[in-house]
């Protein structure tokens, strides 16, 4: 029967009083049960149950100074790529009984900073972050201050920050080389802002591929900046469909954008890939099942998360590491004549 009054949550000293022992003993029951005799342990345990006592994590953290939680900040929690990534992180964290707090920056540096501050204040073991901007000075500062940082899904521009990334330049090149191979000489690139490193890199790769084919990027490639979701794909594609000099292909910076693009093309009565070819990026689960199965650049997403968590847990004993995976192209109907 729970007490009727008690508004305040029970503390360790309430337990101690009820069990007739000192707080030190209660703490021992909690953390080194072997040090305490069976009789008192049972008494204390029953007191704990009776008061439904739950230790105050903040007090514990304050005293021991460490905590088994890590934070992750991604650009967009609604993007399957990032949740698959989170899944990878969780899988590795589970092994060591760590827990994960996830937050979404929505590509907003303000929000990113806010969550960084929150995590730091709470003393997490470390933070994995997909930076919302090109500038990582604030993260370097954080790291110097002793917060363990791992850059997610983008290579570190500085030696001191560990990172786990996929070669986005190569990925961009893969996609565009493929389109060029299919005979496309006018490629629209629906991209995000270059302040996001992944976007800048994929663009760089695209340019490289065009140049390698002996063509002029300025005439072959046409970049439109869109928001990184299906609505962005809609908007970016709408501005294309009615043009007389419409590009023959679209490269989308991620599959969500590609989804919007395909949707808008279909509504405009254009056929894919005959009127317009489309290539996406990330190869999310549904890419293969769309009305027109989507050609996409596949990344080892899950593995990315696992490695990132691994690096973070490994601690600072080792030097910072910079892991780079290679993407592959998965060709499907949306770009194959």
CA distance 265 to 241: 7
State the burial class of residue 244 (Cβ atoms within 10 Å of its Cβ: 0-12, 13-18, 19+): exposed
Within 194-233, the residues that bind a copy of itself by CB under 8 A are 230
Place of tokens 């060029």: 180
> What DSSP character marks residue 328?
E
Asked if 9 is part of the footprint of a copy of itself (rule: CB under 8 A), the reply reads yes
Which residues within the stretch 42-61 sit at the binding site for a copy of itself (CB under 8 A)? 52, 54-61
Size of the site for a copy of itself (CB under 8 A): 54
Looking at the Cβ atoms of 38 and 317, the one nearer to a copy of itself is 317
Provide the sign of the torsion angle of the four alpha carbons 263, 278, 289, 76, taken in this order.
negative
**Shortest CB 118 distance to DNA, Å:** 14
Taking the C-alpha atoms of residue 30 and residue 47, their distance in angstroms, rounded to an integer, is 12
Nearest partner of 237 among 300, 189, 173, judged by Cα: 189
Residue 177, contacted partner among DNA, a copy of itself, none, CB below 5-8 A by kind: none
Q: Is 169 in the site for DNA (CB under 7 A)?
A: no
The correct pick among 1, 37, 145, 317 for binding a copy of itself (CB under 8 A) is 145
Question: Do the Cβ atoms of 264 and 285 come closer than 8 Å?
Answer: no
Q: Which two tokens stand for residue 149?
A: 């940082």
Region of 33-41, 100-108, 149-157, 328-336 interacting with DNA (CB under 7 A) = 33-41
Partnered with residue 225 across adjacent β-strands are 191
Contact 287/255 with Cβ under 8 angstroms?
A: yes
Using the rule CB under 7 A, which residue among 17, 45, 55, 229 binds DNA? Answer: 55
Q: Which two tokens stand for residue 163?
A: 């990172």
Q: Taking a C-beta distance cutoff of 8 angstroms, is the pair 125, 268 a contact?
A: no
d(CA 305, CA 286): 20
Which residues have CB under 8 Å from 11's CB, separation 6+?
53, 56
As measured in angstroms, the least distance from the Cβ of 237 to a copy of itself is 13
Q: Is 49 in the site for DNA (CB under 7 A)?
A: no
Does 35 participate in binding a copy of itself (rule CB under 8 A)?
Answer: no
* 67 binds DNA, rule: CB under 7 A: no
Choosing from 40, 69, 224, 225, the residue that interacts with a copy of itself (CB under 8 A) is: 69
Choosing from 14, 80, 166, 168, the residue that interacts with a copy of itself (CB under 8 A) is: 80
Instruction: Give me the least distance between CB of 160 and DNA, in Å please.
Output: 24
SS3 243: coil
Residue 35 touches which of DNA, a copy of itself, none (Cβ within 5-8 Å per kind): DNA
Residue 11 in the binding site for DNA (CB under 7 A): yes
- CA distances (Å), 236 to each of 146, 174, 199, 249, 294, in order? 42, 22, 15, 13, 18
Q: In terms of CB distance, is 145 or 337 closer to a copy of itself?
A: 145
Closest separation between CB of residue 1 and DNA, Å? 21
| Alpha carbon distance 135, 194 (integer Å) | 11
Out of DNA, a copy of itself, none, what residue 37 binds, judged by CB under 5 to 8 A for its kind, is DNA
> By C-alpha distance, which of 322, 325, 327, 326 is closest to 150?
322
Single residue of 6, 49, 62, 78 touching DNA by CB under 7 A: 62
Binding residues (CB under 7 A) for DNA: these are 8-9, 11-13, 20-28, 30-31, 35-37, 39-41, 53-56, 59-60, 62-65
Binding residues (CB under 8 A) for a copy of itself: these are 2, 7, 9, 52, 54-62, 69, 77-78, 80, 83-84, 86-87, 90, 99-104, 114-115, 117-118, 120-123, 141, 144-146, 230, 256, 259, 262-263, 266, 285-286, 288-293
């Amino acid at each position: 029967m729970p007490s009727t009054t008690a508004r305040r949550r029970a503390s360790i000293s309430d337990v101690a009083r009820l069990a007739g022992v000192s707080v030190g003993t209660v703490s021992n029951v909690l953390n080194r049960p072997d040090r305490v005799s069976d009789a008192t342990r049972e008494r204390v345990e029953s007191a704990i149950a009776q008061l439904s006592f739950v230790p105050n994590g903040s007090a514990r953290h304050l005293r021991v100074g460490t905590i088994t939680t890590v934070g992750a900040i991604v650009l967009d929690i609604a993007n399957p790529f990032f949740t698959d990534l989170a899944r990878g992180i969780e899988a590795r964290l589970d092994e060591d009984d760590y827990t994960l707090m996830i937050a979404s920056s929505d590509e907003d540096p303000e929000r990113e900073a806010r969550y960084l501050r929150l995590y730091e204040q709470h003393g997490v073991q470390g933070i994995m972050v997909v930076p919302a901007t090109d500038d990582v000075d604030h993260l370097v500062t954080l790291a110097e201050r002793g917060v363990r940082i791992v850059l997610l899904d983008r290579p570190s521009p500085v030696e001191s920050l560990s990172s786990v990334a996929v070669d986005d330049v190569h990925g961009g090149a893969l996609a565009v080389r493929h389109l060029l191979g299919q005979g496309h000489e006018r490629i629209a690139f629906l991209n995000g802002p270059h302040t996001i490193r992944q976007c800048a890199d994929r663009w760089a790769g695209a340019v490289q591929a065009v140049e390698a084919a002996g063509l002029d990027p300025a005439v072959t490639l046409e970049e439109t900046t869109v928001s990184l979701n299906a609505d962005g794909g809609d908007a970016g594609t709408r501005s294309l469909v009615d043009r007389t000099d419409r590009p023959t292909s679209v490269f989308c910076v991620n599959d969500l954008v590609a989804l919007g693009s395909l949707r808008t093309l279909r509504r405009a009565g254009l056929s894919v890939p005959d009127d317009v070819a489309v290539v996406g990026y990330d190869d999310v689960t549904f890419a293969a099942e769309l009305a027109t199965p989507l050609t996409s650049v596949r990344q080892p997403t899950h593995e990315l998360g696992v490695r990132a968590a691994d690096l973070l847990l490994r601690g600072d004993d080792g030097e910072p590491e910079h892991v780079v995976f290679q993407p592959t192209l998965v060709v499907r109907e949306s770009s194959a004549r």
